[in-house]
Amino acid sequence: MAPCGARRRAGAIPQRSPVILRDRAKVLVVEDNTDSRQLLCDLLTQAHFECRAADSGIAALALADEFRPDVAVLDLGLPGMDGLQVARRLRSDPPQARMILIAPTGYGQAADRVAAREAGFDEHLVKPVQGEQLLSLLADMQGRAATATPAA
């Protein structure tokens, strides 16, 4: 489509090596709502992230193969292949397994959070997600990854 450190409970999902979110880190936004998708990409671009967007799970997988994002902001309620299925596919692909997965979703029940965590999501945010909330989360992840990475 067009350009535009994980908090886990102990034992839930194996930890991956941290991804360092550098300036211009690559973010894939997967959202079927056109306005929401464009707003997220605009916000991330203004915050110095390189952003690409997809409107479905199938399109997201194809774009992830090409774009190789550091982070995917992946809605759960997608047409066809839902966000949980996309997350499992991304986690099973070794080149993409370290990608940070964030679920901004309307599904906010405890069972939804468990399902997202089990599918491999690092974070679960209930919509409407405020721009500052997402940017703060990314900055926090960047800080945690930087402190977890030994100095050269």
CA distance 72 to 19: 12
Is pLDDT of 152 > 50?
A: no
42 vs 147, which has greater pLDDT?
42
Identify the pLDDT of residue 13: 36
Under 8 Å between Cβ of 83 and 76: yes
Under 8 Å between Cβ of 69 and 26: yes
Identify the pLDDT of residue 142: 75
pLDDT in tens, 112-149: 999 999 999 999 999 999 999 999 999 888 776 556 55
44 vs 12, which has greater pLDDT?
44
94 vs 21, which has greater pLDDT?
94
Mean pLDDT, the chain, rounded, equals 84
Topology of the domain comprising 26-146: Rossmann fold (3.40.50)
Under 8 Å between Cβ of 51 and 37: no
How far apart, in Å, are the Cα atoms of 59 and each of 66, 107, 130, 137?
Answer: 11, 22, 25, 25
Split at pLDDT 50, 70, 90, the class of 21 is: low
Identify the pLDDT of residue 24: 75
Q: What pTM was computed for the model?
A: 0.81
